[in-house]
Amino acid sequence: MSLASFDARTLRGAEEDLAIGVDEAGRGPLAGPVVAAAVILRSTRGLSGVRDSKLLSASKREELFIVIRQNASIAVSWAHARDIERLNILRATLLSMRRAVLRLEQQGLVLVDGPHKIPDLALNQKAIIDGDQLSLSVACASIVAKVVRDRWMARLDRRHPGYGFSKHKGYGTAAHLKALNALGPSPIHRRTYAPVSALLKP
């Protein structure tokens, strides 16, 4: 089943309402925000190369990001490290998704990547495991969220030098862990994540 055909079947089932694809980027990193994107496609022109963002190179994601912006209504939201510590990563992610959807002027069926629906959202929803591999609008949302977050981490790298955020985007790579142990946690590290919390113990 192609991405486009899945969305077409879903739209018919939703009485031809426009579907809102929702996905996130940044649940796993040790530092930085989790970013959610909501996308309503107006056209599929130029989107044949869209896939789950994890299957695309950074340059291809940037290229498709431009095309998606030309063919869709887009909204993004995020939760910072302190929000993630306070809420936990799942609740922070779902809150970011809710905020992103509510920032769109149009409403419709919400297609959420993963097993969880968005709480406190008065719209019809479908939670779709591997949705970014099945739904075109969700795959577009995954690209938007990833590009926005990667750009953000590049800016944070300049604000918090030495950790290499522009390269690993906050994920727990060997280089990141080495810098973390040498420099200690930065203000954007998630203090409830094990490699970071271990350094904060007396």
Residue 22 pLDDT class (50, 70, 90 cuts): very high
Range scoring the smallest mean pLDDT among 8-17, 129-138, 147-156, 180-189 = 8-17
Residue 202 pLDDT class (50, 70, 90 cuts): confident
In this model, does residue 80 exceed pLDDT 90? yes
In this model, does residue 6 exceed pLDDT 90? no
Q: Which candidate, 134, 127, 175, 95, places its Cα nearest to that of 9?
A: 134
Span 40-69, average pLDDT: 92
> What is the pLDDT at residue 13?
41
pLDDT tens digits, 99-127: 999 999 988 999 999 999 999 999 999 99
DSSP 119-134: TT--S-EEEETTGGGT
Question: What would you measure as the largest C-alpha separation in the chain, in angstroms?
Answer: 58
Q: Are 53 and 163 in contact (CB under 8 A)?
A: no
Topology of the domain comprising 3-200: Nucleotidyltransferase; domain 5 (3.30.420)
Backbone region of residue 184 per phi and psi (left: phi > 0; alpha: psi in -120 to 50; beta: other values): left
> What is the pLDDT at residue 2?
52
> What is the pLDDT at residue 34?
98
Sketch the domain layout of the chain as residue ranges: 3-200
Quote the CA–CA distance of 116 and 139 in Å, as a whole number: 17
> What is the pLDDT at residue 82?
98
Structure tokens at 110: 């919400």
Residue 81 pLDDT class (50, 70, 90 cuts): very high
